[in-house]
Amino acid sequence: MRISIIGSGRVATHLTLALKAHGHVFVDVCSRKITHAEGLAARLNARALNHIDNMDLNIDVVIIAVSDQSIGEVVQQLVNIKPTCLVLHTSGSTHVTVISDHLAYAGVFYPLQTFSVEHDVDWLNVPVLIEANTPQQLEIVRLLAQQLSTKVYEYSSAQRLSLHLAAVFACNFSNYCYDVAHQIVQEQGVDFELLFPLMMATTNKATSISPSMAQTGPAMRHDEVILKQHQALLKKYMPNHLEMYRLLSEQIQKRHS
């Protein structure tokens, strides 16, 4: 297929390079900063643009891979040039109607994964959630997704939003807790790597049994002595994390009352 991408960040980069490896041709890379567009376009053998008005419309698919708050703005710019091809966004929390209310052919290609510049993506095992406003367009999205992943699921916008929210807890919030743990041991000159086996064991248990069944710790045991010791340490060295500790401990105690 002939594809153009709007966006040049982490999702755009990983997705386009994976699709290119499967033989798809990229025509345009459009980004607000031309230098960003040029960097990705060079890797795709595509043209770099910083204005959507200049896009080549002789294409099969346009992929919008920008921040959620910018998708609507991009769609309005596409309305001005009247593309007749399928237009996809890659957001987990944005409804498909942000496109279908304005353009004839709309869809969603949402990879449920965290993307970093430093790490390659194992696309075969990345769940890809798809949606489209017509059966014909859905098959196009499905074809693209199945070329990359063995885990392709058709979900509604409401279902996709619930998964995105769950992903924030499972990935973003848990990673922030890892960051806090790093800060705590760093404060006392303790090696953060000592926690790695524990972190891995926690993930393994959460994915093999119910996370509720896997819960351990002083809050789950209602061990008030340890809870107070921890809070005293946080109050002394890292008071900005004290309220979070209290709130999480309280929620664990309610869950395991």
pLDDT average, residue stretch 167-189: 95
C-alpha–C-alpha distance, residues 166 and 172, integer Å: 10
Q: Which long-range contacts (CB under 8 A, 24 or more apart) does 40-49 make?
A: 40/5, 40/8, 40/12, 40/13, 40/16, 43/13, 43/17, 44/16, 44/17, 44/20, 46/4, 46/5
User: For the domain with range 161-255, which CATH number is right: 1.10.1040.20, 3.90.1300.10, 3.40.640.10, 1.10.760.10?
Assistant: 1.10.1040.20
pLDDT in tens, 16-34: 999 999 999 999 999 999 9
State the pLDDT at residue 119.
84
Nearest Cα to 61, choosing from 80, 79, 27, 86?
Answer: 86
**Do 129 and 151 contact (CB within 8 A), yes or no?**
no
Q: Which amino acid is at 151?
A: K
Q: What percent of the chain lies above the pLDDT cut of 90?
A: 96
- As a CATH number, domain 2-155 is 3.40.50.720
State the pLDDT at residue 192.
97
State the pLDDT at residue 116.
83
Helix (H, G, I), strand (E, B) or coil at 211: helix
State the pLDDT at residue 21.
96
The chain-wide mean pLDDT, for the chain, equals: 96
State the pLDDT at residue 112.
95
pLDDT average, residue stretch 36-53: 96
Domain regions of the chain by residue span: 2-155, 161-255
State the pLDDT at residue 257.
87
**Do 71 and 90 contact (CB within 8 A), yes or no?**
no
Residue 211 has pLDDT above 80, yes or no: yes
Residue 146 has pLDDT above 80, yes or no: yes
Nearest Cα to 163, choosing from 253, 237, 93, 90?
Answer: 93
State the pLDDT at residue 214.
93
Q: What percent of the chain lies above the pLDDT cut of 70?
A: 100
Is the sign of the CA dihedral 169, 174, 180, 181 positive or negative? Answer: positive
pLDDT-based confidence at residue 212 (cuts at 50, 70, 90): very high
Residue 118 has pLDDT above 80, yes or no: no
The structure's pTM equals 0.89
State the pLDDT at residue 92.
95
Check residue 195 and report its DSSP letter: G
